A and B are shown apart, each in its own frame.
Chain A
Amino acid sequence: MTTFLGMPATAPRGVGNLRGEEPFPAAARKALGNEQLRRNLGHATATIRAKSGAVIAELPDWQELRSAGSALKADTMARLPELLLQLEENVTRAGGVVHWAADANEANRIVTELVRATGHDRVIKVKSMATQEIGLNEALEAAGIEAVETDLAELIVQLGHDRPSHILVPAIHRNRAEIREIFLREMPGVDPALTDEPAVLAAAARRYLRETFLRTRVAVSGANFAIAETGTLVVLESEGNGRMCLTLPETLITVMGVEKLVPTWRDLEVFLQLLPRASTGERMNPYTSMWTGVTPGDGPQSFHLVLLDNGRSAVLADEVGRQALHCIRCSACLNVCPVYERTGGHAYGSVYPGPIGAVLSPQLTGVEDNASLPYASSLCGACFDACPVKIDIPSILVHLRGEHVRARRRPTPESIAMAAAAYTMDHPRLFAAAQHAARLSRFAGRRLPRPFNGWTASRDLPPPPPETFRDWWAKR
Chain B
Amino acid sequence: MRIALFVTCLADTMFPAAAKATVRLLERLGHEVVFPAGQTCCGQMHINTGYSRDALPLVRRHVRTFAPYDVVVAPSGSCVGSVRHQHAALARSAGDGGLAARAEEVAARTYELSELLVDVLGVTDVGAYYPHRVTYHPTCHSLRMLRVGDRPLRLLRGVRGLELVELPAAEQCCGFGGTFALKNADTSAAMLADKMRHVLDTGAEVCAAGDSSCLMHIGGGLSRLGAEVRTVHLAEILAATEEP
**List of B residues within 8 angstroms of A464 by Cβ:** 14
**List of B residues within 8 angstroms of A446 by Cβ:** 223
Given contacts A421-B54, A454-B181, A468-B12, 4 further A-B contacts (CB under 8 A): A380-B173, A406-B53, A428-B37, A461-B216
In the assembled complex, the Cα of A45 lies from the Cα of B45 at a distance in Å of: 30
Tell me if A125 counts as interface (CB < 8 A to partner B).
Answer: no
* A378-B144 contact in complex given A398-B47, A460-B224, A469-B12, C-beta closer than 8 Å: no
Q: Which residue of A lies closest to B190 (CB)?
A: A342
In the assembled complex, the Cα of A468 lies from the Cα of B20 at a distance in Å of: 10
Tell me if A457 counts as interface (CB < 8 A to partner B).
Answer: yes
Say yes or no: B224 contacts A459, CB within 8 Å: yes
A interface vs B, CB < 8 Å? 24-25, 28-29, 32, 38, 338-339, 342-343, 374-382, 384-385, 395, 398, 400-406, 414-415, 418-419, 421-422, 425-426, 428, 431, 435, 438-439, 446, 451-452, 454-462, 464-465, 467-470, 472-473
Say yes or no: A418 contacts B223, CB within 8 Å: no
Say yes or no: A376 contacts B57, CB within 8 Å: no
Say yes or no: B140 contacts A435, CB within 8 Å: no
* A381-B141 contact in complex given A32-B190, A459-B223, C-beta closer than 8 Å: yes
In the assembled complex, the Cα of A405 lies from the Cα of B53 at a distance in Å of: 10
Q: Most chain-B Cβ atoms within 10 A of its Cβ — which of A414, A428, A473?
A: A473
B2-33: CB near A (< 8 Å → 1, else 0) gives 00000101011111110110010000000000
Q: Closest approach, in angstroms, between the C-beta of A309 and any C-beta of chain B?
A: 27
**List of A residues within 8 angstroms of B39 by Cβ:** 428
Say yes or no: A375 contacts B184, CB within 8 Å: yes
* A455-B180 contact in complex given A28-B187, A462-B216, C-beta closer than 8 Å: no
**List of A residues within 8 angstroms of B45 by Cβ:** 421
Say yes or no: B57 contacts A426, CB within 8 Å: yes
In the assembled complex, the Cα of A426 lies from the Cα of B9 at a distance in Å of: 12
Tell me if B55 counts as interface (CB < 8 A to partner A).
Answer: yes
Q: Closest approach, in angstroms, between the C-beta of A367 and any C-beta of chain B?
A: 10
**List of B residues within 8 angstroms of A342 by Cβ:** 187, 190-191
**List of B residues within 8 angstroms of A378 by Cβ:** 140, 173, 175-178, 180-181, 188, 191
* A380-B177 contact in complex given A459-B221, A465-B16, C-beta closer than 8 Å: yes
A24, A380, A425, A470: the one contacting B140 at CB < 8 Å is A380
* A425-B180 contact in complex given A382-B144, A457-B185, A465-B15, C-beta closer than 8 Å: no
**List of A residues within 8 angstroms of B179 by Cβ:** 375
A343, A406, A426, A470: the one contacting B12 at CB < 8 Å is A470
Chain B interfacial residues counted at CB < 8 A: 69
Tell me if B124 counts as interface (CB < 8 A to partner A).
Answer: no
Say yes or no: A465 contacts B185, CB within 8 Å: no
**List of A residues within 8 angstroms of B55 by Cβ:** 422
Tell me if B50 counts as interface (CB < 8 A to partner A).
Answer: yes
In the assembled complex, the Cα of A421 lies from the Cα of B38 at a distance in Å of: 16
B interface vs A, CB < 8 Å? 7, 9, 11-17, 19-20, 23, 35, 37-41, 43, 45-55, 57-58, 61, 86, 89, 140-141, 143-145, 171-173, 175-193, 216-217, 219-221, 223-224
* A398-B46 contact in complex given A378-B140, A457-B189, A465-B17, C-beta closer than 8 Å: no
Say yes or no: B41 contacts A404, CB within 8 Å: no
Say yes or no: A438 contacts B13, CB within 8 Å: yes
Say yes or no: A469 contacts B7, CB within 8 Å: yes
**List of A residues within 8 angstroms of B191 by Cβ:** 338-339, 342, 378
B9, B14, B53: the one contacting A465 at CB < 8 Å is B14
Say yes or no: A458 contacts B192, CB within 8 Å: yes
Q: Which residue of A lies closest to B184 (CB)?
A: A25
Say yes or no: B145 contacts A375, CB within 8 Å: no
Q: Which residue of B lies closest to A458 (CB)?
A: B189
Q: Closest approach, in angstroms, between the C-beta of B136 and any C-beta of chain A?
A: 17
In the assembled complex, the Cα of A38 lies from the Cα of B189 at a distance in Å of: 14
In the assembled complex, the Cα of A439 lies from the Cα of B219 at a distance in Å of: 19
Among all A-B residue pairs, the 10 with the closest Cβ atoms: A378-B177, A401-B50, A454-B185, A459-B220, A380-B173, A381-B144, A422-B54, A380-B140, A405-B50, A469-B16
Say yes or no: A462 contacts B219, CB within 8 Å: yes
In the assembled complex, the Cα of A381 lies from the Cα of B50 at a distance in Å of: 17
Say yes or no: B16 contacts A431, CB within 8 Å: no
Say yes or no: B217 contacts A381, CB within 8 Å: no
Say yes or no: A469 contacts B11, CB within 8 Å: yes
27 A-B contacts, Cβ less than 8 Å apart? A25-B187, A338-B191, A339-B184, A375-B183, A377-B180, A378-B140, A378-B173, A378-B191, A379-B177, A398-B48, A400-B50, A405-B50, A422-B43, A422-B57, A422-B58, A425-B61, A426-B40, A428-B40, A435-B12, A446-B223, A451-B182, A454-B181, A456-B220, A459-B217, A459-B221, A462-B216, A473-B23
Q: Which residue of A lies closest to B181 (CB)?
A: A455
**List of B residues within 8 angstroms of A456 by Cβ:** 220
In the assembled complex, the Cα of A404 lies from the Cα of B51 at a distance in Å of: 10
Q: Which residue of B lies closest to A415 (CB)?
A: B51
Q: Which residue of B lies closest to A385 (CB)?
A: B144
Q: Which residue of B lies closest to A25 (CB)?
A: B184
* A422-B46 contact in complex given A380-B144, A468-B13, A469-B7, C-beta closer than 8 Å: yes
**List of B residues within 8 angstroms of A458 by Cβ:** 185, 189, 192-193, 221, 224
**List of B residues within 8 angstroms of A375 by Cβ:** 179-180, 183-184
* A32-B54 contact in complex given A425-B41, A459-B192, A465-B15, C-beta closer than 8 Å: no
**List of B residues within 8 angstroms of A465 by Cβ:** 14-17
Q: Which residue of B lies closest to A384 (CB)?
A: B144
In the assembled complex, the Cα of A381 lies from the Cα of B177 at a distance in Å of: 11
Say yes or no: B20 contacts A454, CB within 8 Å: no
Say yes or no: B51 contacts A422, CB within 8 Å: yes
